[in-house]
Amino acid sequence: MRSLKNIKLKRLYVNYFKLGSNFDYLLEAIEEGDMKSLLEIYAKSSASTQQQTTKLVSFLHKMPLLHVLDIAYNKAEAGKSIPILANNLNQCKALQALCLNDMEAPSHDMELLAQNLPSQLTGLDITGNVMSDTVASHLMVTLPRQLTRLYINVDNLSKSKHNELLHSVHSKLTCLQKLYVKGSPYPGDLVKHGGLALTSCPHLYWLELIPSCDDFIPEDCVATFMKGMQQARSIKSLYLDGVHLDMRSFQELTRLSQLKCLDELGFSRRLLPEGVQSEELDDFVTLY
């Protein structure tokens, strides 16, 4: 770490390495301007303290060329890490991908982040932090239209805000290629909006929907999803972990998946319709 000033580092990958005091050397190098050439930083679960995470995001202006910032699985310092990051994002003119999943940031902190998303982002992962109706309201305004990858959790949302947010996603973000929505307490609405995304986002090739309960999906919501599957142009990977379908709907889903030449259809083993034997499923069907 002490020799970073002697090289023009472009990419730093320290995912899952608990650096301990070495993380402080990294912070020192950034603060002293030795990381000006850095384009990508991948530091999943590498900070040993919340304070180290806060210091890292406070030095973003020292990395003016940064394209990718991935600090997932580092627990945020409540009231500091994410707010400081949010306030510094306007200086990150080159930033394209922001991965902040599973930092356990509280709602108020996520509100500040949602208000300050860089308009040039193409990738955003904020799962594993507290989502609220207020956060969702801000996201509906600030999510950049050119996003190609979006990972969000929608737990804790009211039904109306849940549907407003998901409607905003598939109606506004028509460049999406990967969409991950986790923790929905409204499985029918989740599946319906997933189908609408398949219709509205012609480049969508990867879709994962995870409800937080396994209620049966109503027929009208299933019909919207199947229509989306019929119209989808690019879908290759579809994961429905926790989505509960009846036999007819499951059979139609597998038929359409074959028709679309999916590489993989992920489904919950425990929610297979009665009478479906896992060993009889096609090779592209993966059971969780």
Residues 6+ apart with CB under 8 A from 252: 226
Q: Regarding the domain with residue range 1-130, which homologous superfamily does it belong to in the CATH classification?
A: Ribonuclease Inhibitor (3.80.10.10)
Q: What DSSP state is assigned to residue 216?
A: B
Query: Which residue in the block uniquely carries the two structure tokens 């507290």?
Result: 130
Q: What is the four-CA torsion angle of 208, 214, 220, 223, rounded to 10 degrees?
A: 40
**Per-position pLDDT tens, the chain of length 288:** 455 666 788 999 999 988 778 889 889 989 998 889 999 999 999 988 999 999 999 999 999 999 999 999 999 999 999 999 999 999 999 999 999 999 999 999 999 999 999 999 999 999 999 999 999 999 999 999 999 999 999 999 999 999 999 999 999 999 999 999 999 999 999 999 999 999 999 999 999 999 999 999 999 999 999 999 999 999 999 999 999 999 999 999 999 999 999 999 999 999 999 888 887 788 889 988
CA 113 vs. chain centroid, Å, equals: 15
Closest by CA to 122, choosing from 158, 153, 95, is 95
Q: Where in the chain is the domain with CATH 3.80.10.10?
A: 1-130, 152-288
Helix H, strand E, coil C: the string for 62-126 is HCCCCCEEECCCCCCCCCCHHHHHHHHHHHCCCCCEEECCCCCCCHHHHHHHHHCCCCCCCEEEC
Predicted local distance difference test score (pLDDT) of residue 6: 65
Output the six-digit token pair for 283. Answer: 């090779």
Location of structure tokens 């945020």: 76
What tokens does 135 get?
Answer: 């956060």
* C-alpha distances out from residue 127 to 103, 154, 256, Å: 9, 9, 29
279-285 long-range contacts (CB < 8 A, ≥24 apart) are: 281/254, 282/254, 282/258, 284/257, 284/258, 285/254, 285/257
How is 122-157 classified by DSSP, letter by letter? SEEE-TTS---HHHHHHHHHHS-TT-SEEEEE-TT-
- What pTM was estimated for this model as a whole? 0.95
What are the φ/ψ torsions at residue 75 (nearest 5 degrees)? -65, 130
Provide the angle, in degrees to the nearest 10, between the axes of the packed helices 133-142 and 107-115. Answer: 10
Count CA atoms within 13 Å of residue 235 on its CB side. Answer: 29
DSSP state of 273: P
C-beta neighbour count of 130 within 10 angstroms: 17
Please report the pLDDT score of residue 126 as a whole number. 98
Q: How many contiguous H segments (helices) and E segments (strands) does the chain have? A: 9, 11
What confidence score (pLDDT) does residue 283 get? 86
CATH 3.40.190.150 fits 152-288, yes or no: no
C-beta of residue 203 within 8 angstroms of C-beta of residue 173: no
Specify the DSSP class assigned to residue 185: S
